[in-house]
Structure 1
């Protein structure tokens, strides 16, 4: 039986499923840094805004998640 490679796009629902909070926070920090960098294009900043929102906005940052849980 021959196996051929198939071009299957990532399922958005499963993307990042196994990421730890620290990994998500690191991604969020990178996008936040891009937003404050005067040398990046407006297009790049728009992408970072979208990505940061998809990661959870301000709640994507690891320390803020813990602080929100502790304040309840």
Structure 2
């Protein structure tokens, strides 16, 4: 792996870690909101979290390709 690919992979990995942390925080807030009766907001957040999960898989795949 060349230096530029390594830097790109490392940077993407850090962004993935940030995305994972944000996802966890959003899920916690969404559950809190749901427990207070706003199930529509909760379901909307769950839909957005699903998109994050899908994109995370693609980013992880890209990181692995850069590292190979």
What range is the shorter-chain TM-score in?
A: 0.3 to 0.5
Flag the structure with more relative contact order, 1 or 2, with Cα contacts below 8 A and sequence separation at least 6: 2
User: What TM-score, normalized by structure 1, do the two folds share?
Assistant: 0.40
User: What TM-score, normalized by structure 2, do the two folds share?
Assistant: 0.41
